Chains A and B, each alone.
Chain A
Amino acid sequence: MKYSLLLSALLSSAAFSATVQTVQRPPQASTIQVVCPTGTCTSKPAIHKDVLPINSSLRIDVIGQGVAPTNTSSPAQAYALAKRAATADAYRLIAEKVKGVRIEGDDLIKNMMVQRSTVRTTVKAMVRNANVVETTFKDGLCEVEMEIVLSHADFAR
């Protein structure tokens, strides 16, 4: 009986001290510390930093490419159509960089041989405030350089 009372008293005191310790813990920092699996950690643990901190901006540059169709009635029309295609490509590249790409892959293997290999990628995004920096048209290929400036507020909306 005495031992059980002593044990319970010890346990309660330990629990109390543990709660006190948790209360006295300092507030967590904004950076998240990544814990590596055993054996793979270096001497310094990797620290995850914010990609876009508050009050800073990030500039993304892309070059979209487009080709004019073969059945155009004039070089001007070819240029206009190729430019549209290049703009769409540039928007796609921005969307890929900012939002990411969904990738699906299928491989069909028959009799130990690859019959068909398919990779499907999809991008879905809404892009606004992108600027065309430069447009070049050479040998039927149009290149549109586009930039977008991202600020922390754009994501915090």
Chain B
Amino acid sequence: MRSRDGNRTLSCRFCTLVLLSSLALNASEYLISYRYVVKNAILYNETLQISKAMQKCIGIPQTSLLLQQKNSKDIQKIIYNHMNEFITYIQKIGINVEHKEKNTNYQNSSTTILTMHTRCFKVDFNDNFAKITALK
């Protein structure tokens, strides 16, 4: 015998499916790398590269960063608007430090390179926020 609320369950399932699929469509994955060079205590070069992932990333989500945005889905624009926050986030995740120092006849010169190797980030776009999550 068919239950009375059979149609209701069906509609609920349909709504959930639509909601989940819309959320999944809003989420996208990006490959981000960051590197900066400091020579003799002066910033020499800084590079932040962002590109959309062509393949699905596999990994466990790490801590997330929420960035405020106004109906924009351009991740580059959002990150450049919140550059300091994003770099602090990257540094928190983990950054490679490489330092070389040379002292010749009591004259010192140094080069420090901070690198975040190319890493996959999942980005969820909501109405006012973009949620960036590093995958490990």
Which residue numbers of A lie inside 8 Å of B, CB to CB?
65-69, 81-82, 84-85, 87-89, 91-92, 94-96, 116-130, 132
Contacts and interface: CB of A to CB of B under 8 A. Distances in A.
Contacts of A124: 96-99
Given A88-B36, A128-B93, A130-B91, A122 B42 contact: no
B22 interface: no
Contacts, number: 92
Interface in B84-131: 88, 91-106, 112, 114
Interface centre among A81, A87, A118, A132 (most CB of B within 10 A): A87
A130 to B, nearest CB: 7
B98 A118 contact: no
A91 B97 contact: yes
Nearest to B115: A126
B95 A123 contact: no
B59 to A, nearest CB: 16
29 contacts: A66-B41, A69-B43, A81-B42, A82-B43, A84-B38, A84-B43, A84-B46, A88-B97, A88-B114, A89-B38, A91-B95, A91-B114, A117-B105, A117-B106, A118-B102, A118-B104, A118-B105, A119-B102, A119-B103, A120-B102, A120-B103, A121-B99, A121-B101, A123-B97, A123-B99, A124-B98, A125-B96, A125-B97, A129-B92
Interface in B48-89: 88
Contacts of B100: 120-122
Nearest to B106: A117
A92 B101 CA distance: 11
B97 A126 contact: yes
Interface string B3-46: 00000000000000000000000000000000010100111001
